[in-house]
Amino acid sequence: MAYYVYIILCEDNSLYTGHTRNIDERARLHASGRGAKYTRMHKPKSVAYIEVVDSRALAMKRERAIKKLSHQQKVNLINSCENLKREEESDY
């Protein structure tokens, strides 16, 4: 079963990182204020980054690694993902 590691962009431009099995349900919980204490205090704006991994152990490991990054490094990760999407879309 796939797990997702995600980064949420909050309204104050802070970033929240987490992992889940169901990204849509988790995003809905964050938006409703029931996803995490952090996102109750820092209102979520959008899911800015999603990474798919094969197991919960890998998801937890990747989440910890992302949480150790600086804010700018997380922004660079988000931007690199967006650039890849744009390149893939332009290939068609």
pLDDT at 87 over 50: no
What distances in angstroms separate CA 86 from CA 4, 46, 78, 90, one per listed residue?
21, 18, 13, 6
Please state the domain extents for the chain: 3-90
CATH code at 3-90: 3.40.1440
8-15: average pLDDT: 96
Separation CA 64–CA 74 (nearest Å): 12
Report pLDDT digits (tens) over 31-65: 999 989 999 999 999 999 999 999 999 999 999 99
This prediction has a pTM of 0.88
3-state secondary structure the chain: CCEEEEEEEECCCCEEEEEECCHHHHHHHHHCCCCCHHHHHCCEEEEEEEEEECCHHHHHHHHHHHHCCCHHHHHHHHHHHHHHHHHHHHCC
